[in-house]
């Protein structure tokens, strides 16, 4: 079940999932199907497809949540903060003016105003369009 796995969209070379430990509502991961932690190991067509999916993810979140900005990036390698060093992915994190607080930075806790399945139900139809 895609909803249980939080998979919002997929194609032959990529998929988009909700982050199970998000920094904000609608924090997405754009993932290549190829299991690698080495960006250079991705074929050029896969890198291009991932760039297109990141673009689409930004547009979908913008339409559904109207954030003031985004953080987009990846952590390559354990030293850079990769949770699973053998599999790279892009983070697409919507941001709102004034959304930083002590909970994430000092309290080692995250506060979200929406359950992951509610976020899924809001974004999945937009990805399906």
Active site residues: 89
User: What element of type H or E holds 69?
Assistant: strand 69-73
Q: Is 93 helix (H, G, I), strand (E, B) or coil?
A: strand
Question: What span, in angstroms and rounded, lies between the C-alpha atoms of 5 and 18?
Answer: 9
127 near 17, Cβ under 8 Å? no
Burial of 72: CB neighbours in 10 Å, binned 0-12, 13-18, 19+: middle
Which residues, 6+ apart, have CB-to-CB distance to 88 below 8 Å?
Answer: 31, 32, 36, 37, 38, 39, 74, 76, 82
């Amino acid at each position: 079940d895609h909803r249980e796995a939080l998979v919002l969209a997929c194609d032959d070379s990529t998929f988009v999932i909700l982050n199970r430990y998000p920094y904000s509502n609608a924090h997405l991961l754009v993932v290549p199907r190829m299991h690698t932690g080495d960006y250079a190991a991705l074929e050029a067509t896969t890198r291009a497809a991932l760039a297109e999916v990141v673009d689409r993810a930004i547009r979908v979140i913008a339409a559904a949540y109207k954030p003031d900005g985004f953080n987009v990036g990846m952590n390559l390698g354990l030293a850079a903060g990769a949770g699973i060093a053998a599999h790279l992915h892009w983070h697409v994190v919507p941001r709102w003016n004034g959304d930083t607080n002590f909970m994430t930075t000092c309290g080692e806790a995250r506060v979200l105003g929406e359950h992951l399945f509610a976020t899924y139900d809001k974004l999945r139809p937009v990805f399906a369009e």
